[in-house]
């Protein structure tokens, strides 16, 4: 971690080291059990709030610890090294609070963000729908203005934190015929009448970060809880996803760092034909390929973080980093399993869980195909 210090302050490093100790001492011993029984990593919520992790994406003005963009990435890497499900839960919370921070006014920020930063309130981000998530302009949830309130009707799918959330940021159409320009965003009390949360999905990986279907039937939301103007929701969602893709990158980096470390130790200890596997040239080349891809992902991540910190557009850089890192971690974990032989295919070692956890990274926050579309459009527009 310390080799990637670009834009990292001394305060950041203190925080990252504290998170690393917490992750190793608290998250690591429980990760396999939570995954096995499909429990919830929200049992860590009080400790995560006390550490400042649940407000890490927010400036100090609104209750966050004042971490830099680089410090936030590094802290999430430390979490992901030990428990990707916990990182996913934190990332889902960030999606909601980021939407309030970027799309809300100061009255809304003052009302909603300080409690979220301490973990007193948990957020979910209700964008994806049963009909699809890759094109939010097509969403069918409707928001109908009725005096000083909106009536929300529709269904959402794969909503992380939904069962335990205090607030949901819900995206709905205020104009069903306007495409992306008809999408608006609302802060919704998760206990409001008309909201029903279905049973958790039977997920392949990150099983300790439950995702749920959510139904909204005549849910009343005050006009004052709309984020920005009517029709501003799509642009807000895209800005939030630029940020959250870096959270996915952090998860990929954390998983890959652990997979490589486990593999290096295994190759020194495992002997075949009287020699450690680490002495075999073919094995060494496989390790080199793992390391090169991991370091390339780090470089792309820090490039995106630097642009974000500078306050300049970084949508393409975020997409590049997310695309590469999510595909990198699949390669690194698969190679780690190959080098562990039959043991890599067992549940005795964490590699099997890591392989399942890593698979979602190529799907959520925009599938790899969506990242390629974002990148290509940026390149062609620049020409």
Q: Are 165 and 124 in contact (CB under 8 A)?
A: yes
Residue 62 DSSP symbol: G
List phi, psi (to 5°) of 232: -90, 0
CA dihedral 285, 291, 295, 297 (to 10 degrees): 100
Q: What is the H or E stretch that residue 49 is in?
A: helix 45-51
Q: Are 217 and 153 in contact (CB under 8 A)?
A: yes
Examine the residue annotation and report whether 365 is marked as an active-site residue of this protein: yes
Q: Are 179 and 137 in contact (CB under 8 A)?
A: yes
Residue 233 three-state SS: helix
Residue 142 three-state SS: strand
Please state, as a whole number, how many other Cβ atoms lie within 10 Å of the Cβ of residue 188: 26
CA distance 350 to 361: 17
Residue 309 three-state SS: helix
- Set 121, 129, 327, 365: catalytic member: 365
Catalytic sites, residue numbers: 365
């Amino acid at each position: 971690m310390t080799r990637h210090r670009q834009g990292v302050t001394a305060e950041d490093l203190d925080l990252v080291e504290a998170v690393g100790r917490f992750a190793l001492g608290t998250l690591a011993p429980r990760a396999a059990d939570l995954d096995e029984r499909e429990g919830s990593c929200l049992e860590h919520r009080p400790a995560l709030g006390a550490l400042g992790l649940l407000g890490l994406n927010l400036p100090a003005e609104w209750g966050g610890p004042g971490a830099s963009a680089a410090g936030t990435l590094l802290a999430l890497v430390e979490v992901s090294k030990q428990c990707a499900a916990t990182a996913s839960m934190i990332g889902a919370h960030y999606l909601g609070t980021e939407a309030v921070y970027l799309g809300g006014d100061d009255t809304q920020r003052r009302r909603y963000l300080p409690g979220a930063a301490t973990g007193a309130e948990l957020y979910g981000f209700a964008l994806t729908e049963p009909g699809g998530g890759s094109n939010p302009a097509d969403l069918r949830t409707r928001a109908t203005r009725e005096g000083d309130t909106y009536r929300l009707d529709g269904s959402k799918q794969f909503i992380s934190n939904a069962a335990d959330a205090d607030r949901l940021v819900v995206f709905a159409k205020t104009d069903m015929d306007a495409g992306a320009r008809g999408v608006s965003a609302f802060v919704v009390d998760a206990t409001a009448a008309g909201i029903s949360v279905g049973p958790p999905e039977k997920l392949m990986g990150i099983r300790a970060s439950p995702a749920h279907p959510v139904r909204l039937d005549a849910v009343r939301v005050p006009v004052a809880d709309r984020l920005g103007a009517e029709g501003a929701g799509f642009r807000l969602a895209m800005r939030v996803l630029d940020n959250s893709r870096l959270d996915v990158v952090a998860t990929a980096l954390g998983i890959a760092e652990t997979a490589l470390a486990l593999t290096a130790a295994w190759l020194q200890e495992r002997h075949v034909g009287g020699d450690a596997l680490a002495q075999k040239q073919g094995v060494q080349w496989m390790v080199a390929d793992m390391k090169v891809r991991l370091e390339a992902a780090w470089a792309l991540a820090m490039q995106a973080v630097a642009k974000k910190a500078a306050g300049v557009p970084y949508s393409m850089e975020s997409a590049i980093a997310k695309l590469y890192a999510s595909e990198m971690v699949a390669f690194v974990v698969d190679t780690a399993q190959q080098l562990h032989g039959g043991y890599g295919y067992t549940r005795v070692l964490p590699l099997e869980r890591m392989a399942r956890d890593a698979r979602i990274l190529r799907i959520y926050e925009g599938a790899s195909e969506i990242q390629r579309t974002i990148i290509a459009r940026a390149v062609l527009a620049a020409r």
